[in-house]
Structure 1
Amino acid sequence: MATHAQHKSDWRRWQQSWDQQQEWYMPDREERFRVMLDMAEALVGTEPRVLDLACGTGSITDRVLTRMPHARTVGVDRDPALLAIARGTFADDERARFVTADLSDPDWPAALPEGPFDCVLTATALHWMRTEPLRALYGQLAGLVREGGVFMNADHMPDESTPRINAAVHVFDEDRRKRQRDAGALDWGGWWRALAEDPALADVAQERFALFGNPAEVRHDHNNEEFQSAEWHAATLRDAGFAEARAVWASPTDALVLGLR
């Protein structure tokens, strides 16, 4: 049975802490969000109905509603702890709502309010899924985006054709993260350890650990074996029914792929 926080927490502080932890891994995180919102505005305007897919704490929702005050958002995720932060943060904002659903369940769209959506947006989340489940998900998303609407995914999308460049980037990033960790930055495991110590979130943290494992105790709780290139994502979106698809932003390790219905 799902548990719920019984104490008050500083939701905005947890949002900021999540951003800082994510930026430790991706210092260009805000840049990818900026391009994502630029493309959304260019293609569907400033009052979109947005599905924040695998929303976590609601990072995309936060940025959409800040930039586009007349937008409406629906966040969907399975993680009870991250959803608790999202729901706490936006508890008084009627523009945002959140639903619990498992994207690996073929019937997950049934948990959503009626579609279609102008935008489906996601960032640094779908790499949890292996190739074939992700292909199936893209097929479902084509049915959730209206004609002329967009899907965007900003995530790890390596180019295996450049091993020397990739190796140099890996060393550079590891050195940067070590310096920042030595200066007090929280990594993934450290962030979850701190979260579990918050009385308002201790119960949902344990619920999360029962579902996915405790990141403070296991080395990897992500898919670390199957990553797809930006070209794969674009081709798969076209195969799924999107009229056009391509990368609209890239870093040395990540990309933002846009599919237009």
Structure 2
Amino acid sequence: MSLTPTLARTWIDRWDRQQEGYLPDREIMFAVIADAVAANTDRADPLVLDVACGPGSLGARIRERLPQARVIGIDADPVLLELARTAYGFDLVDRNLADPAWTADLPAEPIDAFVSTTALHWLGADQLAALYAQSAKLLRPGGVLLNGDDMVAETTDIDQLHAAIGTRQLEREGVGDREGWVDWWSAITAEPELATAVAERDNRRWEHPEDNGVTYEQHLKFLRAAGFRSAEPIWQYGRRRIIAAVN
């Protein structure tokens, strides 16, 4: 038997629920990014690059907002790529963003939007700066980069406030007892329809920081150095921000 779209979506739904245990406003972030993509194009079918796409949750929300959008997902996790491929039929590129050649398999046409959520903190600071520079070259003039992530503060005072309001938010939304990241991965590695992808994931053994320590101010500095003409936040809760950068 092979992985079916129904089974893939079951695992993605479970993924989304466990992610909300860390990010209770995750769906709001998706909606803001999708709305920003729609607002920044006059095309019904923009070309959208979903970077570190995971199982395709953000790309799927963008397609709900813009049904004709062409979404290309990039990731290096074979399990998550297989879920996205089977559930949504996206164009997918299997590349590690830490590799400077990650753009090699992309189409030659200019990209309308470069999007990512809660993933780019896995890149080192130099790698993130390089990725922003590459994205500026890939985007059409006027194209937009949208990165939603936890961006560390300059001071421990703000970090402490972020932790406090985050705890209260989890309590208020009633999601603090959701399945955890480790539990989800333990469960899916036992899924027989994903055995090949799981084995490949085990072979890859990535090395990456859990958090690159890049502050919000550094994100803006990197984006402006990359050549974006404007870069500012369009949404924020605590340290979590969505930064929009226009090419």
- How does the TM-score come out when normalised to structure 1? 0.85
Deviation digits for residues 100-154 of structure 1 (CA, Å, limit 9, x no counterpart): 1111111111111223100011111111011011111111111110001001110
Q: Could you say which residue in structure 2 is the equivalent of 1:13?
A: 10
Q: Could you say which residue in structure 2 is the equivalent of 1:3?
A: none
Aligned residues of 1:117 and 1:145 also touching (Cα < 8 A): yes
Letter in 2 for 1:207: E
Alignment pair present for 1:116 and 2:114: no
Secondary structure of the residue aligned to 1:232 is helix
Candidates 217, 223, 229, aligned match of 1:243: 229
Letter in 2 for 1:139: A
Deviation digits for residues 7-50 of structure 1 (CA, Å, limit 9, x no counterpart): 33401111111111111110011111111112112211443110
Q: Could you say which residue in structure 1 is the equivalent of 2:82?
A: 84
Unaligned runs of 5+ in 2: none
Q: Could you say which residue in structure 2 is the equivalent of 1:34?
A: 31
Measure the CA separation in 1 of the matches of 2:209 and 2:167: 19
Question: Are the structure 2 counterparts of residues 224 and 61 from structure 1 closer, same or farther at C-alpha, using a change threshold of 3 Å?
Answer: closer
Q: How does 1:109-258 map to 2 (within 5 A)?
A: 109-161=103-155, 163-171=156-164, 173=166, 176=170, 180=175, 183=177, 185-212=178-205, 223-224=209-210, 226-258=212-244
Aligned residues of 1:156 and 1:227 also touching (Cα < 8 A): no
Aligned residues of 2:124 and 2:208 also touching (Cα < 8 A): no
Deviation digits for residues 172-230 of structure 1 (CA, Å, limit 9, x no counterpart): 645848x856x5x21111110011111111231232133237xxxxxxx8523532222
- How does the TM-score come out when normalised to structure 2? 0.90
Secondary structure of the residue aligned to 1:201 is helix
Secondary structure of the residue aligned to 2:11 is helix
Secondary structure of the residue aligned to 1:120 is strand
Measure the CA separation in 2 of the matches of 1:225 and 1:33: 21
Question: Are the structure 2 counterparts of residues 31 and 180 from structure 1 closer, same or farther at C-alpha, using a change threshold of 3 Å?
Answer: closer
Secondary structure of the residue aligned to 2:86 is helix
Q: Could you say which residue in structure 2 is the equivalent of 1:49?
A: 47
Measure the CA separation in 1 of the matches of 2:211 and 2:17: 26
Letter in 2 for 1:39: A
Q: Please provide the CA RMSD for this pair.
A: 2.0
Letter in 1 for 2:106: L
